């Protein structure tokens, strides 16, 4: 028979049990107060602390929740709303400070919830657990919000650095025309001689895009009427050794003629391109080709159809290797050489490959990819592009780019055999451009302003006169009776310099109504 316990020992055991239960209750209460603050900031104060502080915090929280709940469906239905949020620099600054204040305030509420849990009344083990739990919550919440503030700051700096334009330009005949200039980087070389020149003509409603390529070696061309360059060269750019890519250099050497212009070289190039094509330029963007390599790496590479071995490294003995044929995902280094390689090729094949790269990037860089690699993209883009697009227009062009992803891209390049670059027939060029835009807009180019001429420019004596894919001459009856007659004729699978086609017959990607199918 076990010995009977004394009344005193039973009472002590009962008191110990009661204290343990009370300690567990205080421990659970302390954890609950911090959890409540994590879920609804201010709820712990409202239940066990300063009710006024709790009411203010909960009201702020409800406003933020309501904003988020309304913004998500609004953004899904109206994409322009999201682009506006991501590009308005004043709003981004406000959001950054709001996130920083929210991080500090939320962390302070969590610390106060720990205080309300009366940690000194807890056992040593419970006290350590509560301190650890509170520390994890504070660092998690504050760290997440401060990182969000950092990302917002990166986005704002990106917008301010890249989009420095001050003047908004209205569309011309329902299209925005953006001149894309590619130039080598390096000390003293930024933008001096553009390596590539392309007009992206974008429908302001649908985003349907026409890429108009201009060769860097075009000569004897006029400038836009009434421009500074037209006054200096009334008969056109007909000086010895003067080519389109040299206009920028000439203008920078005579910068005084352009008054207070910050970019006389770009301004002069625009005067030339408007004079050649008849297309009014809204904005321009100068692409640093070395920064372009970093951008491709930031998005994880670009998948391209490599049709022939593409040399890497330069010309002749400078070639260090080759990009092998096949459908390949290329990194920034290889994409850059795919775009620029001239060994065993010519400038016009290179122009075709550059357009294939443009089309591939437009299709493959999705909003999800952009969000996932946002900071790297922003850093690369800031070093890659200089443009006069103002910050307030960013959301418009992002929206148009997303619309363009699902549509065909048309191209028209002012290159042989359609155009003799040494002596370009400017009226014919303007009709070619107008015809390409008309087809992109779903119009049959039958009017004198839109139709291509019955004959194209004369090619050099040693150049075959067969044309690259283009529409049937305007004099053919089929032009006015069958839209199918305006589609490019099938071209044999002949590959030269890595591009479908050849110099005599033209390269498919340079003259097409569907760039994706030609690459």
Residues 121 and 225 grouped into a single domain: no
Largest CA distance in the chain: 126
Distance separating alpha carbons of residues 42 and 53, to the nearest angstrom: 7
Residues of the chain with pLDDT > 70, as a percent, come to 85
Its sign, for the CA torsion 386, 388, 390, 394, is: negative
DSSP 3-state of 281: coil
Residues 180 and 103 grouped into a single domain: no
2 found inside a domain: no
Residues 59 and 181 grouped into a single domain: no
- Read off the pLDDT band of 166 (50, 70, 90): confident
Which of 401, 504, 400, 412 shows the shortest CA–CA distance to 450?
Answer: 412
Q: In terms of pLDDT, which residue wins out, 42 or 460?
A: 42
Q: Are 506 and 416 in contact (CB under 8 A)?
A: yes
Among residues 111, 135, 162, which one ends one of the domains? 162
Distant-in-sequence, close-in-space partners of 123: CB < 8 Å, separation ≥ 6: 23, 27
Which pLDDT score, from 0 to 100, does residue 52 have? 94
Please determine, for residue 16, whether its predicted confidence score (pLDDT) is greater than 90. Answer: no
Which pLDDT score, from 0 to 100, does residue 430 have? 96
Its sign, for the CA torsion 208, 375, 370, 100, is: negative
Which of 390, 304, 313, 311 shows the shortest CA–CA distance to 354?
Answer: 304
Distance separating alpha carbons of residues 194 and 216, to the nearest angstrom: 8
Please determine, for residue 201, whether its predicted confidence score (pLDDT) is greater than 90. Answer: yes
Residues 136 and 183 grouped into a single domain: no
Which pLDDT score, from 0 to 100, does residue 240 have? 86
> Where is average pLDDT lowest: 56-60, 270-274, 384-388, 508-512?
384-388
The full DSSP string for 285-349 is EEEEHHHHHHHHHHTT-EEEEE-S-EEESSSGGG--EEEPSEEEEE-HHHHHHHHH--TTS-HHH
Residues 33 and 92 grouped into a single domain: yes
Distance separating alpha carbons of residues 339 and 344, to the nearest angstrom: 14
Residues 138 and 236 grouped into a single domain: no
Residues 287 and 424 grouped into a single domain: yes
Please determine, for residue 336, whether its predicted confidence score (pLDDT) is greater than 60. Answer: yes
Please determine, for residue 180, whether its predicted confidence score (pLDDT) is greater than 80. Answer: yes
Mean pLDDT of 145-152: 93
Q: In terms of pLDDT, which residue wins out, 306 or 456?
A: 306
CA 222 to chain centre: 33
- Read off the pLDDT band of 488 (50, 70, 90): low
167 found inside a domain: no
Q: Tell me the two tokens of residue 333.
A: 């280094």
Q: Are 163 and 156 in contact (CB under 8 A)?
A: no
DSSP 3-state of 393: helix
Q: Is 301 exposed, middle or buried (0-12, 13-18, 19+ CB in 10 A)?
A: middle
Q: Tell me the two tokens of residue 165.
A: 């334009």
Say which CATH number the domain at 193 has.
Answer: 3.40.630.190
DSSP 3-state of 283: strand
Each residue of 260-290: pLDDT tens digit? Answer: 998 999 999 999 999 999 999 999 988 887 7
Residues 151 and 249 grouped into a single domain: no
Count how many Cα atoms sit within 13 Å of the Cα of residue 41 in the half-sphere of its side chain.
Answer: 24
Q: Are 250 and 406 in contact (CB under 8 A)?
A: no
Which pLDDT score, from 0 to 100, does residue 292 have? 84
Q: What's the chain's average pLDDT? A: 84
Please determine, for residue 149, whether its predicted confidence score (pLDDT) is greater than 70. Answer: yes
Which pLDDT score, from 0 to 100, does residue 450 have? 40
3 found inside a domain: no
496 found inside a domain: yes
Please determine, for residue 23, whether its predicted confidence score (pLDDT) is greater than 90. Answer: no
Which pLDDT score, from 0 to 100, does residue 123 have? 87
Q: In terms of pLDDT, which residue wins out, 310 or 371?
A: 310
Its sign, for the CA torsion 121, 125, 131, 133, is: negative
Residues 151 and 179 grouped into a single domain: no
Which of 213, 129, 224, 208 shows the shortest CA–CA distance to 404?
Answer: 208
1 found inside a domain: no
75 found inside a domain: yes
Residues 366 and 264 grouped into a single domain: yes
Count how many Cα atoms sit within 13 Å of the Cα of residue 514 in the half-sphere of its side chain.
Answer: 9
Among residues 135, 162, 189, which one ends one of the domains? 162
Report pTM: 0.75
Which pLDDT score, from 0 to 100, does residue 451 have? 40
5 found inside a domain: no
Which pLDDT score, from 0 to 100, does residue 456 have? 35
Residues 473 and 501 grouped into a single domain: yes
Each residue of 369-415: pLDDT tens digit? Answer: 776 776 677 777 766 778 899 988 888 888 888 888 889 999 999 99
Which pLDDT score, from 0 to 100, does residue 374 have? 65
**7-39 helix and 124-162 helix, angle to the nearest 10 degrees:** 10
Residues 208 and 62 grouped into a single domain: no
Domain count across the chain: 2
DSSP 3-state of 209: strand
Which pLDDT score, from 0 to 100, does residue 77 have? 79
Each residue of 85-127: pLDDT tens digit? Answer: 888 888 999 999 999 999 999 999 999 999 999 988 888 899 9
Q: In terms of pLDDT, which residue wins out, 50 or 292?
A: 50
Among residues 162, 187, 215, which one ends one of the domains? 162
CA angle 217, 219, 221 (to 5 degrees): 130
Long-range interactions of 78-84: CB distance < 8 A, separation 24+: 79/399, 79/402, 80/395, 80/396, 80/399, 83/394, 83/395, 83/396, 83/398, 83/399, 84/395
Please determine, for residue 439, whether its predicted confidence score (pLDDT) is greater than 70. Answer: yes
Which pLDDT score, from 0 to 100, does residue 454 have? 35
Q: Tell me the two tokens of residue 248.
A: 């920028």
- Domain range enclosing 119: 11-162
305 found inside a domain: yes
Please determine, for residue 478, whether its predicted confidence score (pLDDT) is greater than 50. Answer: no
């Amino acid at each position: 028979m076990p010995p009977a316990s004394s009344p005193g020992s039973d009472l002590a055991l009962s008191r110990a049990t009661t204290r343990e239960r009370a300690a567990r209750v205080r421990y659970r209460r302390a954890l609950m107060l911090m959890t409540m603050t994590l879920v609804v900031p201010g709820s712990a104060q409202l239940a066990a602390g300063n009710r006024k502080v709790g009411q203010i915090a909960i009201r702020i929280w409800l406003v933020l929740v309501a904003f988020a709940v309304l913004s998500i469906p609004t953004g899904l239905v109206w994409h322009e709303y999201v682009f506006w949020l991501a590009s308005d620099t004043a709003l981004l600054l406000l959001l950054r400070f709001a996130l920083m204040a929210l991080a500090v305030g939320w962390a302070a509420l969590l610390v106060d919830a720990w205080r309300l849990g009366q940690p000194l009344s807890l056992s040593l083990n419970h006290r350590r657990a509560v301190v650890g739990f509170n520390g994890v919550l504070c660092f998690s919440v504050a760290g997440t919000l401060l990182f969000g503030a950092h990302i917002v700051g990166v986005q704002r700096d990106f917008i301010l650095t890249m989009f420095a334009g001050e003047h908004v330009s209205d569309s011309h005949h329902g299209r925005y025309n953006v001149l894309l200039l590619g130039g080598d980087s390096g000390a003293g070389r930024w933008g001096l001689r553009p390596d590539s020149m392309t007009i992206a003509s974008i429908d302001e409603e649908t985003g349907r895009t026409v890429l108009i390529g201009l060769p860097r070696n075009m000569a004897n061309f006029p400038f836009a009427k009434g421009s500074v360059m037209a006054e200096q060269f009334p008969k056109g750019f007909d000086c010895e050794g003067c080519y389109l890519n040299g206009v920028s250099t000439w203008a920078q050497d005579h910068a005084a003629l352009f008054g207070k212009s910050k970019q006389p070289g770009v301004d002069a190039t625009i005067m030339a391109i408007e004079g050649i094509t008849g297309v009014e330029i809204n904005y321009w963007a100068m692409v640093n080709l070395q920064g372009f390599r970093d951008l491709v790496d930031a998005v994880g590479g670009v998948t391209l159809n490599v049709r022939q071995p593409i040399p890497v490294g330069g010309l002749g003995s400078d070639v260090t290797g080759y990009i092998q044929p096949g459908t390949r995902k290329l990194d920034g280094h290889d994409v850059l050489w795919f775009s620029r390689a001239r060994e065993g090729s010519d400038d016009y094949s290179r122009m075709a490959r550059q357009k294939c790269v443009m089309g591939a990037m437009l299709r493959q860089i999705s909003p999800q990819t952009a969000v996932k690699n946002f900071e790297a993209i922003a850093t690369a883009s800031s070093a890659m592009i200089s443009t006069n697009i103002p910050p307030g227009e960013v959301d418009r062009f992002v929206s148009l780019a997303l619309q363009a992803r699902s549509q065909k891209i048309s191209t028209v390049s002012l290159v042989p055999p359609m155009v003799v670059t040494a002596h370009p027939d400017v009226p014919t060029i303007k009709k070619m451009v107008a015809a390409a835009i008309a087809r992109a807009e779903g119009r049959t180019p039958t009017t004198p302003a839109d139709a291509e001429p019955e004959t194209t420019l004369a090619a050099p004596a040693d150049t075959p006169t067969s044309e690259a894919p283009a529409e049937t001459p305007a004099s053919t009856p089929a032009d006015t009776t069958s839209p199918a007659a305006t589609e490019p004729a099938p071209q044999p699978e002949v590959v030269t310099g890595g591009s479908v086609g050849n110099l005599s017959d033209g390269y498919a990607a340079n003259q097409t109504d569907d760039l994706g199918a030609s690459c």
